[in-house]
Structure 1
């Protein structure tokens, strides 16, 4: 059994600042008996509560496990394609740290690791529910769609030593979204190539992802944290992250400073679309059961950084906007 409590402070250069607040209460449990295991986590935010994950697993071999339930979709760099509390652009597009209801088989053989998963839809099976942790396709009046079935495949090759670490792989997923108006289904595909290299205290993350929703409109609606918004229906999402772990940080257990850059580049020549940028510079500081993130988030035409959405061209998307976010968490 365990949990966490997190507090946050925010300052914005484009709107009224939220100030200091209680950001999260979290409860979790995990266990194991023989080959069987389980893990679950539930979260309470300001104004809503949501499941993070809830799965049961069975060990099928020395390095092989089958899991069923709400769990992370195996796609791209794992566990995250970022270092900051704010994540990268892929998180807000459903390409990073996305949790859905499904079955996943994970198998490792030396330097090789495979994931094969099938997901019935989002974690609630209801695109009209906006109060959730993971970003999923939203059912809105203008774009009434929801996720319906997806297969995810991921392969990674990795090597680790005391001073060096390298991992590279490829991820693909294919499924459908469903129109709530007429029940018609349209394709939903994504692919990514990804790599991570560590040398001493330095880490480099690289990823290029592409996604496509095959419905007629050039936009799709996404939602999480109670708010729906629109994004480009087809785009490339390159990511370039650098991190440096401070050696012998004195009183602290660990300090890691980073710069995470990601861009959303709409594909095609549809009117009403334009690129979005997000850059996060910051440090994570750990001491005992406390972890603090200090992040400066700069966004251009970027949701949650003063923009109207992601990859769309609407009033309010011009120019860079910034926000300071400090998050202090206590874990038990």
Structure 2
């Protein structure tokens, strides 16, 4: 065996990560407004990557403050690469649904993230294919992140992405996502996503179900990008008689809240990149991301979100400057527990000015 061949077959390990800090000034918090905002620690991430022959590892563990759930695994999977186009991933893998990987441009994501439809990761097996004209992925998820295995416990809300928690648990979910890529100077990505799974209820010991469908489209032209998605979601719960079935409990970052059982979500995003040469600054990307959650029950009021801002790139240093406004949005003022379920008719729009500074290595 040649020396070159021996070198290529040696295991490789790369350790990356991030350190982030956050400035925030919220319209609904009198203390922050009086002090001119607050500046503090956001999170530290460790991101190991490894490879050996046709195997690879991709993982990320994040450390937040205890108030935001503490430490948890964002993602972590082992992959087998059949060739340059096809691979099989096993572990806490990215859920193939909607615009990949983000249906947004800003630090807050779009409203899809807050109901488990953006940048979600679950425990399962995923097949991924990518070529010049098509990308598609199919996956089976046994469940969301599990940290307790004795049986009968509710899922812990200390996790990165939103999952069903409380008295219901996600199980036996299948996902499919396909994207057709076309165009030359103008690049188009037209896609369709679907997911279906069971919801096991701890009280009745019966399985309900849930499904989601999405039609999504992206276009890239010069330095411009536009994204649009249409999403339909339904949860059919087998709750105990004294528990409502028109809402489901979801959780992340250590705290659960209610989400309407049935809803549609419409999102629209636009961004433009500007190359600059101001000392270490290399690029500014300006954007606006909008999302509308239309709840199917007439008595429930809509939830809306709009984020306008820009991202500044300086080598490995990324800075997001965002003005995020929300209507019946749990993380943007209002009543945290039921904003995404019943909501409040004629609620007041609230806003948060946010600057996130992160060094990624």
> If the TM-score is normalised by the length of the shorter chain, which range does it land in?
over 0.9
2:313 to 286, 307, 310: 286
Query: Compared with structure 1, are the counterparts of its residues 266 and 249 closer, same or farther at alpha carbon in structure 2 (3 Å cutoff)?
Result: farther
Rounded to whole Å, the distance in 1 between the matches of 2:343 and 2:84 is 52
* Residue aligning to 2:247: 219
Output one character per residue of 1:32-64: Cα deviation in whole Å (capped at 9) or x when no partner.
Answer: 111111111100001111101110000112300
Rounded to whole Å, the distance in 2 between the matches of 1:291 and 1:134 is 22
Q: Does 1:299 align with 2:318?
A: no
**Paired residue total:** 325
Rounded to whole Å, the distance in 2 between the matches of 1:28 and 1:311 is 32
Q: Does 1:326 align with 2:355?
A: yes
Instruction: Give the C-alpha shift of residue 250 in structure 1.
Output: 3.5
* Residue aligning to 1:242: 270
Q: Is the 8 A contact 2:259 2:340 kept in 1?
A: yes
Unaligned 5+ runs, structure 1: none
Q: Is the 8 A contact 2:260 2:342 kept in 1?
A: no
> Equivalences for 1:1-332 in 2 at 5 Å?
1-15=15-29, 16-17=31-32, 19-47=38-66, 48-124=70-146, 127-139=154-166, 144-159=167-182, 161=184, 163-215=185-237, 217-251=245-279, 252-269=281-298, 271=299, 273-308=300-335, 309-314=338-343, 318-332=347-361
Q: Is the 8 A contact 1:116 1:153 kept in 2?
A: yes
Q: Which structure shows the higher helix fraction? A: 2
Alignment RMSD:
1.6
Rounded to whole Å, the distance in 1 between the matches of 2:229 and 2:343 is 27
Q: Which structure shows the higher strand fraction? A: 1
Q: Is the 8 A contact 2:305 2:327 kept in 1?
A: yes
SS of residue in 2 equivalent to 1:181: coil
Q: TM-score, normalised by structure 2?
A: 0.87
Instruction: Give the C-alpha shift of residue 123 in structure 1.
Output: 1.6
Instruction: Give the C-alpha shift of residue 208 in structure 1.
Output: 0.5
Output one character per residue of 1:266-285: Cα deviation in whole Å (capped at 9) or x when no partner.
Answer: 1143x3x1100000001011
Instruction: Give the C-alpha shift of residue 313 in structure 1.
Output: 2.8
SS of residue in 1 equivalent to 2:276: coil
Query: Compared with structure 1, are the counterparts of its residues 95 and 310 closer, same or farther at alpha carbon in structure 2 (3 Å cutoff)?
Result: farther
Output one character per residue of 1:278-317: Cα deviation in whole Å (capped at 9) or x when no partner.
Answer: 0000101110110000110000011100133444334597
Instruction: Give the C-alpha shift of residue 194 in structure 1.
Output: 0.3
Q: In terms of Rg, which structure is larger?
A: 2
Unaligned 5+ runs, structure 2: 1-14, 149-153, 239-244
